[in-house]
Each structure stands twice: as structure tokens, then as C-alpha cells.
A and B are shown apart, each in its own frame.
Chain A
Amino acid sequence: MVVSKILRKNAFMLGALLVLALLPIALRGNAHVLNILSACLIWGVVASAWDLSIGYASVWSFGHIAFFVIGGYTGAMTVMYLGIPPEAAIPLGGVAAAVIGILIALPCLRLHGIYIAMVTFGVHLVLSTFILRWRDYTFGATGLSGFERIQLGQYVFSSSVPFFSYYVIFGVSVLLLFIIYRVINSTIGLAFVGLRDSEPFAKSLGINEYKYKLIVFGISAFIAGLMGALYTSFYGTVSPFMLEVSTFLMVLIMLMLGGLGRFPGAVIGAFVITVLSEALRPLVLWRFVILGAIVITVMIAMPQGLMALPQTIKSFARRVTQRKQIKKDSIKTSSI
């Protein structure tokens, strides 16, 4: 009874999970497509973690890609310089990003909206300078590569071992998405939505806004950092190139396209944008023009994002039938 209810309520998500779990078997051998799927999952998780702060808590953190890169460098550097096993370095990437995320949250406690965006984007900008300056350890613009990768028996976690690596990424992504889902549906998520919808009311009802700002920075930075370390390990390289504004915009577009505060919208947005961007790659620079045009069209037609598609269709259908009704009525009255 309860099981069937859960199944029905989450039919879409469970169906998607099943497809994602089985797809690689159908695609066996197609390394290119498998790696694209892996990228979709990685960006889906990163965008969903960003959604916790922007979409749910309305904390406009623009430091999210910086957290991702901090995780990436932490993962690579702890393996290279401290000899930490690569599988342990991945959660460490999350921890480092969370610590920095909470430190950045402190000056943001009393700020709102655009001011938080400015402070946190400042961190994004400072980070690349810092990486370039700290050349002895980060190798500056060249970035780091050639560090030890995760190994399980004969399998290496790397984009050149796509089948095995896909399942590692799938496992980590499902776990993190489940955590995000649980946070959204917990009383922590309720507090986020309360502060988003009406901060004065939320505070008057006993919500400590500083506490929840720290929590949202901590969780979203942890997940971004962990995914950054996973990404770095998967591709075997990390460089300040990731801090280019195109990455930032791409992930933000995934989130907006999927729908702010509409889990798992950000994951859907990530799949659409990653696949489109891959499909349009032969067009070189035109790819961004076409991608931009598609995003603008979708956002105008569906400002709430793809997750609101069923509602948008329903209200559109209602409008059409109403219009038909009005037409019919006016024909009737005119014939009288």
C-alpha cells in the first residue's frame, strides 16, 4: 500500500533512474555517448546543488563554480602532494569547498539578493588570480594533471574507461541527488522556502536566518566541491580554465531552463544543455548563438522552466478551449 503510493508519486524519477541505469548496457561500447551521459549527470548534480541556494533559499550565491573548482584542486592536490588515496580525496574536495563556503557565508549573513551575488562572484574572480599566483603548487594556467586515479581491480576511474566510470558517476550522483531531495523535503528545506517567500514573516516565526544561510552555503558548496573533485579525477586534469565565465553561464542556464526551485528541474536542464551543446559542437562558435536562441525562446514561452511544462500545457489548453467557447458564443449571439 505505502510502497505503491511511493512508487506512484515518484514514478517519473524512478523511471528516469531505471533508464539511466540501463542505458549504458544498451549503449555498450559507445564511449563518446557514455561520456556525454556522465557529463550530464555531473552537471545535473552541480546545478541541483546550486538550486538549493538560488532556487529554494533565494540566496544568490555566485560562488558556486568557484566551490566546484576549489573541490577540483583540493582533490588533485591532496593526492599529488599529501599522498591521500584518490577515493578519499573526492569527499575531501567537498569538505574544503564547504569550509570555504561557510567562511564566505559569514560576510553575507546580513546581505540580500544582488549584494550576495556581488560578494560571492568576487570570490570567483579572486580564485583564478590566486591559482595563477600560487604557481609553484597549482602550475598556474597549465593546471594539474597526471595525478593518481581511483582504481578498482582492473578498472580505472577515467574518461578513457567510460563504462565503469559512468557507473561510478551514476552512483555518486544518485546518492547526492537523493540527499538534495531529502534536504528539500525536510524542515531545513521548509525554512529555506520560508526565508525565500517572506523573510520578515519567517524570522517572526522563530527561524534563525543566519543559521539557515550558513547551512545552505555549507551543503551546496560541499556538493559542488565533491563533484569538482570527481570531475577532476574523471578527466584527469584541473585548470583555471574552469573559471571561464562560459562554464558559469552554462550551469546557470541549465538551472534556469530546468526551473528554479523545482527539483529535479536542474537535472533535466543539465541533460538538455549538455546534449545540445555536444550536438551543436561542429558549428563551433555558432553553437553559442543557437544555444542562446533556444534558451531565450524557452524562457519566454515558459518562464518557470521545463519542470513547469505540464502546467504550462494545461493552462495553454484551457486558454484555447476558452477562446473556442467565446468564438462559439459570439457566433451564436451574432446569428440571433
Chain B
Amino acid sequence: MKILQAEKVTKLFGELAAVSNLDFEVESGEIFGIAGPNGAGKTTLFNLISGVYPYTGDIIFEGKSIHGLRPFQICHRGIARTFQIPVLFSSISVYDNIRMGAHFGAPKEKNEKELIKEIIDLVGLRGQEETIAANVDLFDKRLTMLAAALATKPRLLLVDEPTGGLSPKEVRASVELFHKINQELGVTIIIIEHLMKVMVEVCDRLMILNNGEKFCIGSPQKVIQTREVIDIYLGG
């Protein structure tokens, strides 16, 4: 079953087509990777799915169009996201950051405290709850952002470059965490990532974007051995 379908999605910034006539589908339950050179339009695509910018074409989530919905409505439909640069609520505690997601993103949830506790344990933030978000390290910032997104109880999670600036140990922990979110919570994941090593370990399928267009799509092992993909990365 398809959880997300993009049909002829196009986003122009003036003359520049950041995303151009893009068609692709994501299967329910899979981890779907998106890679491509800098400026390929990966983050822009996430911004379109999550309702940040208007665009032409259509995006269908669980059989219904989400075109034209505002970000908070898309969240309530069941799509959550993280950001490439951590954008936390820096003046409040890690706990309150996560509570923000639980309270506003999952308004029907009766046991908010229990939900938050489960997510804190899942991502491994126990002991950091009372720390002000501005004061935690980069990895914990990423985890807090992820935890807040998960607290909205999404069925589709969009993660934008979750490993940038992390140590190898933290990258490994992140890979494990994405598997856990996918398997234990049953959340479908779309992940943007530069590290091909991570993509091969995490993704079921990988799509390469270049200049806002779909370049190729397939199993990560195959895709990264394609001559043209290597050329894009080396030649830009």
C-alpha cells in the first residue's frame, strides 16, 4: 500500500525550479531515502510535503490530497518532520519541547505524560528532561527534535540530514534508532542523508535527486553503484 504519492510536483523560486515535475511513491512501512548533491531540492521537497510553501502538482497522503493544507493540519493528518539545522524551542526544557509535540500534535491522546515518557525512553533522553534545550549538545538537540516529532504520533516521519556533525558512535546510534522507530512504532520514514554508508544500512529504497528532478530510484546498493550517480556526486 502506498502511504505517499507525489504527482508532477513543481516548486519555482523565481526562475529556479527547486523541485521539478517530480513523481514518486513511498510504500507504507518502508524507509525511503533521498540523496543528491547540495541544492538538489531535497529540503525543499520536505517543505512542500509539510505545507511550508505552495506548489503545483499534488501530494497524496493515505489516499487523500494534502495539497494546500497548512503545516499544522498536515501534522494532524499524521506527518511529522525534523529540520536540517536543529530548530528547538531553546528557552524551555527538553521535556517541554517534547510536550509541545504531544499536546498540539496529538490532541486526541489521553495519556500525554505516558506518551512523552515512552518517547524519552525510546530515543534515550532520560536524565536530560529538565535541561534547557539551548544547553544540550548537538546529538541531544537532534534527539529532542526527533522526540517532539514522534510525540505527534505520526505515521510518516520526514528526517532531514540527521547525522550532520555527529561522531561515528552517534551516527551508529542514530541508525539503530531509525530502525527502532520504523519497526517498533511502525512509522514509515523518508530520510535525507549525505552519508551513503548510512543510506545503505537504513533504506529499503533510495531516490537520487539532481537539479530538482528525479534522477533514479532503486535499492540503495544498486543506486550508489550506478556510474551516473557517482558522476553527479563527483562532478556536481
Contacts and interface: CB of A to CB of B under 8 A. Distances in A.
Interface of A: 187, 190-191, 193-194, 196-198, 200-209, 261
Contacts of B148: 201, 205
B87 A206 contact: no
A193 B152 contact: no
B92 interface: yes
B145 interface: yes
Contacts, number: 75
B105 A206 contact: yes
Nearest to B52: A200
15 contacts: A187-B103, A190-B99, A190-B100, A193-B91, A197-B92, A200-B83, A201-B87, A201-B145, A203-B75, A204-B149, A205-B80, A205-B100, A205-B104, A205-B152, A206-B106
Contacts of A261: 91
B: interface residue count bin: 20 to 34
A286 to B, nearest CB: 39
B39 interface: no
Interface in B81-127: 81, 83, 87-92, 96, 99-101, 103-107
Query: SS class of chain A's interface: helix, strand, loop or mixed?
Result: helix
Contacts of A206: 72, 75-76, 101, 104-107, 152
B71 interface: yes
A190 B52 CA distance: 22
B87 A205 contact: no
B126 to A, nearest CB: 21
A187 B105 CA distance: 13
Given A190-B100, A190-B103, A209-B72, A204 B80 contact: yes
Contacts of A187: 103-104
A149 B107 CA distance: 47
B210 interface: no
A197 to B, nearest CB: 4
Contact of B83 (A193, A201, A209): A201
Nearest to B90: A197
Given A197-B91, A201-B87, A207-B72, 13 more contacts: A190-B96, A190-B100, A193-B92, A198-B88, A200-B83, A201-B88, A201-B145, A201-B148, A203-B75, A204-B80, A205-B148, A206-B101, A207-B100
A201 B89 contact: yes
A139 B229 CA distance: 77
8 closest pairs, A vs B, by CB? A206-B105, A203-B71, A197-B89, A206-B104, A206-B75, A198-B87, A205-B101, A201-B87
A196 B107 CA distance: 21
Contacts of A201: 83, 87-89, 145, 148
Contacts of A196: 91
Contact of B89 (A202, A203, A204, A209): A202
Interface string B53-93: 00000000000000000111001100011010001111110
Interface string B140-180: 00000100110110000000000000000000000000000
B50 interface: yes
Interface of B: 50, 52, 70-72, 75-76, 80-81, 83, 87-92, 96, 99-101, 103-107, 145, 148-149, 151-152
Contacts of A193: 89, 91-92
Contacts of B106: 206
Contact of B81 (A204, A207, A209): A204
Nearest to B101: A205
A54 B149 CA distance: 27
A93 to B, nearest CB: 33
A205 B149 contact: yes
A205 B158 CA distance: 13
B190 to A, nearest CB: 14
Given A203-B72, A204-B80, A204-B149, A191 B104 contact: yes
A205 B75 contact: yes
Nearest to A197: B89
Contacts of B90: 197-198
Contacts of B72: 203-204, 206-209
A163 B83 CA distance: 57
B89 A194 contact: yes
Contacts of B99: 190
Residue among B89, B90, B99, B106 facing the most chain A CB atoms (10 A cut-off): B89
Contacts of B145: 201
B88 A197 contact: yes
Contact of B100 (A200, A202, A208, A209): A202
Contacts of B104: 187, 191, 194, 202, 205-207
B100 A194 contact: yes
Contacts of B88: 197-198, 201
Contacts of A209: 72
B233 to A, nearest CB: 29
B49 to A, nearest CB: 11
A201 B139 CA distance: 17
A200 B87 contact: yes
Given A197-B88, A198-B89, A203 B70 contact: yes
